[in-house]
Amino acid sequence: MASNAPETPPPSANQASAAQDGLHSIVLDMDDEFSEFSNRVSAWNSVLMKMNNIMLPGFSKLHTARVGRSVAPGLRVEVQTAWGPRIPSTLIIRLQVRNGDDIQDFAILTLPMGQTEKPMNAECFRTNERTDIMKIFPDPSGDPAGASCSRFLNQDLLHFRGMDISKPAWTLIFNTAFDVVRLETVIDVRKVAVSYPDKFWDRLGTQPAGLRFIAERLKSAFDKRNLDEQVSFQFLFPHVRGWEKDWYVFLNDKRKINPGVLDLQALCNNRIEDLDYSKTLIGHQWLDEELAWKQLMACNCSKMYFQARLLPFPGSEWIPTTSDMADYGMNGNRRPTAYLMIVNLAYVREFLPDIGTRCTVYVRELAQHGYTMPRPPLADIEVRRLASRFQRTLAYAEVWAIRRFWDRGRTQMNEEEVKQIFIQIAAVDVALFLPMPSADDPHNTAASQAAENLRKREGEDKDDHYRRILPWVREALRVAPKTRYNEPYTGIRLSLPPGVSSDVAMFFVEVPRQRDWPRSLEKPPMVIDAPEIPPVTDLQGFLDTAFADSRDVLRAEIRYSVKEDWLVKKSEAIPIMNNIDINTKETAWWKSMVKSTEASKV
């Protein structure tokens, strides 16, 4: 590259207007820009990266063809620029691997741009005008990361409609990136700080072999560099208007305004994985696209049924305590309050939420049993008022029954017929106090019987009638809800535990709480008619045959929403089991399952 300033190719006929709008215009008044030089940290930008003009191994074909903007699994590179009087001029590079929904950093590179001998070179070029395009974007060999099986494959394929994606990556670029920016910097190897997050490397054995190979190969390449040599880094990304705002300081000597070294380790107490990546690409086109796709997946997920199994979560049992009566109005029943839900991915995998996403789950074929309330959900004065209104309702029903009897053209009173009319009218109001009738009782016999019993008796005055109605109303308000309640479970998707490999998704789900419960008490967890399963000691063995017998399989509905700040969450969802007290028996159960799984492989 002969010049540090970006080359501005002449606009073609159909691009003239775009060029006039600033497509290739990056002319900046540097003096004005630095008249009030302030600290600046850019958003993260997804790029393709080369080292010494060789593309880093591990990018998928579609990620290459979309110039770093795809959601395909495999290698990913994100860069961030920072400079200012109090921030050393720095280029931060995050090397990541994407495995389905999971994106993890495996190396963080910090380049002190204020200490480079020469400014960064920049070039803008049109992909259809370069004769060396196949060298700039070489076709990746193989598919080590399983990009062809990605749950987001269809999203990337939308950009290549009518094209043969088996062709080399460089032939597909013309359809996704008309203009590309290429940046290059040369720096002494000894000045490049490389950090390896323990969170990734401590669990390297749990990564798929293809992703493990990518990370180990690149780590080896960095570690074997001669400290006395120089290395060239190149970055490629689609041209977007205003891209230079994140880079222009590095294109001239203004980068030396603060030539110090940014100590990332010190910023995160020597735990690089704890670095706060709060500035993400919110608002950038490729991220908006992925967000829109995820929202579509969430919508489709709510329309699907998933094959599922439920395992009682050890340690979640509601063990009775001395405070139960004061807190809940009842004692614990030793039933599970949470389950480990296992979802089969063999048939449907594309719509499920990302790891760490909270969701609601419906398993409608499992009955949910509520409890008789310890006392009415209303204050006693409210119960009395309700009983009084109900008494008036029964009186109106009596008047309407007599009127309807005479409207039938009767000429002589018939008490039995009036009684039957009264029951028909009053049963409608009585039913409001009772559980839903079962399917084999369409006429709601219980409501008719209650209406007959609550009718004012001959010789009974108003006060006596009220004293008979009041206890019935009070008791009716305590009745247990219908058994097939269909309340949603609350859940969160987990990552598979270390050492476990299976084509399933795991969710930690908590049973629903009984809604109709006195306001002054905590709502108790309902009882679920889940199949009785012996304690699982070998999770891998259970997963291998979990869906072999269709009689054991449940149908689950999973619903979730995607917020616009979804990328602000932690880069890796921590399994529930990693957050609990290490001395609890739940931890022992989890570790014993993993241990049994590992032993079975020996």
The 10s digit of each residue's pLDDT in 278-334 is: 333 333 444 555 667 778 778 888 888 899 999 999 889 999 999 988 888 889 999
Q: Average the pLDDT over each of 287-296, 305-314, 339-348, 479-488 and give the range with the smallest value.
A: 479-488
Give the tokens for residue 126.
Answer: 């049109």
pLDDT of 438 > 70? The answer is no
The mean predicted confidence, pLDDT, of the chain is 78
Give the tokens for residue 238.
Answer: 């689609």
Distance from C-alpha of 464 to C-alpha of 177, rounded to nearest angstrom: 86
Residue 590's pLDDT is 54
Cross-strand bridge partners of residue 83: 40
Close Cβ partners of 9 (under 8 Å, ≥ 6 residues apart): 24, 124, 125, 126, 129, 179
Distance from C-alpha of 256 to C-alpha of 251, rounded to nearest angstrom: 11
Distance from C-alpha of 22 to C-alpha of 452, rounded to nearest angstrom: 83
Task: Report DSSP state, residue 247.
Answer: T
Q: Which contacts of 266-274 are long-range, i.e. CB under 8 A and separated by 24 or more positions?
A: 271/198, 272/105, 272/108, 272/195, 272/196, 272/197, 273/105, 273/197, 273/198, 273/199, 273/200
Q: What is the mean pLDDT of residues 60-75?
A: 86
Could you give the angle at the alpha carbon of 20 between the alpha carbons of 15 and 23, nearest 5°?
Answer: 65
Share of the chain above pLDDT 90, in %: 24
Is beta strand 74-84 parallel, antiparallel or unpaired with respect to 45-51?
A: antiparallel
Residue 306's pLDDT is 92
Q: Average the pLDDT over each of 126-140, 164-178, 279-293, 365-379 and give the range with the smallest value.
A: 279-293
Give the tokens for residue 460.
Answer: 């009974």
Reported as a single tens digit per residue, the pLDDT across 411-423 is 888 888 888 888 8
Cross-strand bridge partners of residue 76: 96
Residue 279's pLDDT is 34
C-alpha distances (whole Å) from 424 to each of 143, 253, 400, 418, 471 are: 71, 92, 11, 10, 23
Reported as a single tens digit per residue, the pLDDT across 520-557 is 788 999 999 888 888 888 888 898 899 988 889 999 99
Q: Are 338 and 474 in contact (CB under 8 A)?
A: no
pLDDT of 567 > 50? The answer is no
> What are the structural domain ranges in the chain?
42-272, 293-369+484-600, 380-476
Report the half-sphere exposure of 51 (CA within 13 A, side-chain side): 15
Residue 53 burial class via C-beta count within 10 angstroms: exposed 0-12, middle 13-18, buried 19 and up: exposed
Provide the CA 492 distance to its chain's centre, in angstroms.
8
Reported as a single tens digit per residue, the pLDDT across 172-208 is 888 788 899 999 999 999 999 888 988 888 888 877 8
Q: What is the mean pLDDT of residues 564-571?
A: 42
Distance from C-alpha of 170 to C-alpha of 157, rounded to nearest angstrom: 15
- Residue count (the chain): 602
pLDDT of 379 > 50? The answer is yes
Helix axes 445-454, 462-476, angle to 10 degrees: 150
Q: What is the mean pLDDT of residues 448-459?
A: 89
Q: What is the mean pLDDT of residues 444-455?
A: 87
User: How far apart are the two ends of the chain, measured CA to CA in Å?
Assistant: 55
Residue 264's pLDDT is 63
Handedness of CA 300, 102, 497, 57 (dihedral sign): positive
Residue 517's pLDDT is 77
Q: Are 194 and 107 in contact (CB under 8 A)?
A: yes
From 128, 182, 160, 200, select the one nearest 61 (Cα to Cα): 160
Residue 479's pLDDT is 63
Q: Are 93 and 109 in contact (CB under 8 A)?
A: yes
Phi, psi of 256 (to 5 degrees): -85, 5
What pTM was computed for the model? 0.51
Q: What is the mean pLDDT of residues 580-592?
A: 50
Highest mean pLDDT among 101-105, 158-162, 246-250, 562-566: 246-250
Distance from C-alpha of 525 to C-alpha of 513, rounded to nearest angstrom: 4
Residue 150's pLDDT is 57
Residue 307's pLDDT is 92
From 417, 426, 472, select the one nearest 448 (Cα to Cα): 426
Residue 575's pLDDT is 41
pLDDT of 148 > 60? The answer is no
In the numeric block, the tokens 């696209």 are attached to 289
pLDDT of 154 > 80? The answer is no
> pLDDT: is 341 or 198 the higher one?
341
Distance from C-alpha of 107 to C-alpha of 201, rounded to nearest angstrom: 10
Residue 146's pLDDT is 59
Residue 468's pLDDT is 93
Reported as a single tens digit per residue, the pLDDT across 9-48 is 433 333 333 333 333 333 344 444 444 456 777 878 889 9
Give the tokens for residue 545.
Answer: 């045959």
Could you give the angle at the alpha carbon of 391 between the alpha carbons of 389 and 396, nearest 5°?
Answer: 95
Distance from C-alpha of 398 to C-alpha of 29, rounded to nearest angstrom: 90
Residue 24's pLDDT is 37
Q: What is the mean pLDDT of residues 225-246?
A: 90
From 229, 230, 226, select the one nearest 186 (Cα to Cα): 230
pLDDT of 568 > 50? The answer is no
Give the tokens for residue 302.
Answer: 């709510």
DSSP secondary structure of 519-560: TTSPPPBPEE-PPP-PPPS-HHHHHHTTTSSGGG-EEEEEE-
Share of the chain above pLDDT 70, in %: 75
Cross-strand bridge partners of residue 102: 99
Residue 211's pLDDT is 85
Provide the CA 347 distance to its chain's centre, in angstroms.
20
